[in-house]
Amino acid sequence: MAPKALEYNATLVERVDVTDALTIFRIKPDQMPSELPWFVPGQYCVLGANNQAKPELGSVRRSMSIASAPEDDGPVEFYVRFVAKPESENPLTHLLWKIQPGDRIYMRPVAAGVFTVKDTIGVEDPRLKVLVAAGTGSAPFVSMVRSELRRNPDADLSKYVLLHGASYPADLGYRDELSHMIAHNKLKYWGTVSRPKEAAGWTGDTGRVEAFFDGARLADLEQRCGLPPGGFTPKNVVVYICGLTGTITGTVVPLIDRGFIPDFKRIREALGVPADAKDSVFYEQYDTEPVIDIKDSAVVEPLKARMQAALAKL
Ligand SMILES: Cc1cc2nc3c(=O)[nH]c(=O)nc-3n(C[C@H](O)[C@H](O)[C@H](O)COP(=O)(O)OP(=O)(O)OC[C@H]3O[C@@H](n4cnc5c(N)ncnc54)[C@H](O)[C@@H]3O)c2cc1C
């Protein structure tokens, strides 16, 4: 049976089409939660819509990270990718792409999730925060740095390193805003494009975002972050990753050699991490593929050996 119709409780105020497949949606709930801040940067909301063209398909709801800052009292912002090859027969992104300012939508006016600094390492933790995003995975990180600036426009953001990967330069949403933060707030931000041949004039980094953690490139990143050689370890750094499995696995696996411990109980256990060792890499996953196939000993055993070797060195 198709999911029953949703009662709309919010209005799309504005949409900014970054490209044909990437859009910033600004949505105003009819009733804003009365107490500000009503969420913590890194949390998500559920958006939903009814399929009016095919009512037999009913409604669909999906989680979306909040890109606006909790201190904002205007519309709530979401950065969404149109999924060209959806898994469901009633994909939300296909409905979202039809809506225009003034149209109604469903937004659960409650934030959820623990992908926040507060819920992971705590706000007082002084370590460098390396934020790794592919595509729309930058949304929670945009919320984090925006929130700092809402509280203090001159905030020093040098404790944040935002690495953002996309296919083309035009897909690096929020680049102008983030560039301003580089210039004025010492944010460390590097965009990287995976299809540079099709991006004439691009002089920035190339390759997928997880490639920053490969072999020699990690030494380069370390230097850019102002760390001493070999200093990219959980002693100085905590890593947050947001997006699809490829980005998460591609970051978590090379960082095993530096002793980074993923915040995922079954992976920790499979890699033989002692129960009292603290997590140092946290992720928000937009799909459901396993990050590490812990049932496959051919995958797990070598990773376990690498983790044990790295922990012994720390
Ligand atoms: C906590 C959480 C927060 C999320 N926040 C965002 C967000 O801020 N922005 C956003 O665009 N999506 C986000 N997503 C993904 C979102 O919930 C949907 O899965 C996505 O929009 C596709 O939904 P759909 O109904 O259109 O397609 P479905 O029919 O549900 O298709 C799902 C397929 O889409 C793929 N997919 C999911 N997200 C993406 C993506 N961003 N790029 C490419 N492929 C994707 C999945 O691998 C899966 O194969 C989030 C997911 C979670 C769990």
CB distance 148 to ligand 1 below 6 Å? no
Q: What is the pLDDT of residue 181?
A: 98
CB distance 25 to ligand 1 below 6 Å? no
- Band of pLDDT at residue 268, cut at 50, 70 and 90: very high
**C-alpha distances in Å from residue 64, one per residue of 14, 101, 128, 195, 304:** 17, 19, 26, 26, 33
Give the chain's end-to-end CA distance (angstroms, integer). 54
Strands (DSSP E) along the chain, which ranges?
A: 10-19, 22-29, 44-50, 59-65, 76-81, 104-107, 128-134, 160-166, 188-193, 205-206, 237-243, 281-285
Ligand 1: atom nearest CA of 80 is 11
**C-alpha distances in Å from residue 290, one per residue of 132, 211, 244, 267, 304:** 18, 20, 10, 10, 17
Q: What is the pLDDT of residue 99?
A: 97
Q: Please tell me whether the peptide bond between 37 and the residue prior to it is cis, using omega within 30 degrees of 0.
A: yes
> How would you classify the pairing of strands 10-19 and 104-107?
antiparallel
Q: For residue 238, is pLDDT > 90?
A: yes
Q: What is the pLDDT of residues 16-72, one digit of tens each?
A: 999 999 999 999 999 988 788 999 999 999 999 999 999 999 999 999 999 999 999
Q: What is the pLDDT of residue 36?
A: 80
Query: Which one, of 212, 209, 174, 179, lies nearest residue 194 by Cα?
Result: 209
93 CA from centroid of ligand 1 (Å): 8
Mean pLDDT of the chain: 96
Average pLDDT over residues 84-93: 97
279 CA from centroid of ligand 1 (Å): 25
3-state DSSP helix/strand/coil % of the chain, to nearest 5: 30, 25, 45
* Owner of token pair 């009633």: 90
Average pLDDT over residues 245-272: 97
CB distance 30 to ligand 1 below 6 Å? no
Ligand 1: atom nearest CA of 78 is 8
The DSSP annotation for 165-208 comes to EESSGGG-TTHHHHHHHHHHH--EEEEEES-GGGSTT--SEES-
User: b vs e for 144-181, b when ≥16 Cβ sit within 10 Å of the residue's Cβ?
Assistant: bbbbbbeeeeebebeebbbbbbbbebebbbbbeebeeb
Number of residues in the chain: 314
Q: What is the pLDDT of residue 65?
A: 98
Q: What is the pLDDT of residues 100-141, one digit of tens each?
A: 999 999 999 899 999 999 999 999 999 999 999 999 999 999
- Band of pLDDT at residue 2, cut at 50, 70 and 90: confident
51, 79, 83, best to mutate for ligand 1 pocket (most atoms within 8 Å of CB): 83
Domain extents for the chain? 10-107, 117-313
CATH architecture of 10-107: Beta Barrel (2.40)
pTM of the entire structure? 0.97
Q: What is the pLDDT of residues 143-195, one digit of tens each?
A: 999 999 999 999 999 999 999 999 999 999 999 999 999 999 999 999 999 99
Ligand 1: atom nearest CA of 88 is 29
Ligand 1: atom nearest CA of 92 is 25
DSSP helix/strand/coil, 71: coil
Q: For residue 249, is pLDDT > 90?
A: yes
Q: What is the pLDDT of residue 199?
A: 84
Q: What is the pLDDT of residue 215?
A: 85
62, 76, 94, 247, best to mutate for ligand 1 pocket (most atoms within 8 Å of CB): 62
**C-alpha distances in Å from residue 249, one per residue of 57, 193, 246, 255, 291:** 34, 19, 5, 10, 5
With pLDDT > 70 as the criterion, what percentage of the chain qualifies?
100
Where is pLDDT greater, at 256 or 109?
A: 256
> How would you classify the pairing of strands 59-65 and 128-134?
unpaired
207 CA from centroid of ligand 1 (Å): 22
Angle formed at CA 218 by CA 215 and CA 221, multiple of 5 degrees: 155
Q: For residue 83, is pLDDT > 90?
A: yes
Q: How far apart (Å, rounded) are the C-alpha atoms in residues 197 and 199?
A: 5
- Band of pLDDT at residue 87, cut at 50, 70 and 90: very high
Q: What is the pLDDT of residue 1?
A: 81
Q: For residue 200, is pLDDT > 90?
A: no
Contacts of 176 (CB under 8 A, 6+ apart): none
Q: What is the pLDDT of residues 145-154, one digit of tens each?
A: 999 999 999 9
Q: What is the pLDDT of residue 35?
A: 81
Same fold, 10-107 and 117-313: no
CB distance 91 to ligand 1 below 6 Å? yes
Angle formed at CA 104 by CA 36 and CA 61, multiple of 5 degrees: 80
Which CATH fold topology does 117-313 show?
A: Rossmann fold (3.40.50)
Q: Are 48 and 3 in contact (CB under 8 A)?
A: no
DSSP state, residue 262: B
Q: For residue 3, is pLDDT > 90?
A: no
CB distance 284 to ligand 1 below 6 Å? yes
Q: Tell how far CA 162 is from the center of its chain.
A: 10
Q: What is the pLDDT of residue 295?
A: 95
162 CA from centroid of ligand 1 (Å): 21
Other CB atoms within 10 Å distance of the CB of residue 54: 12
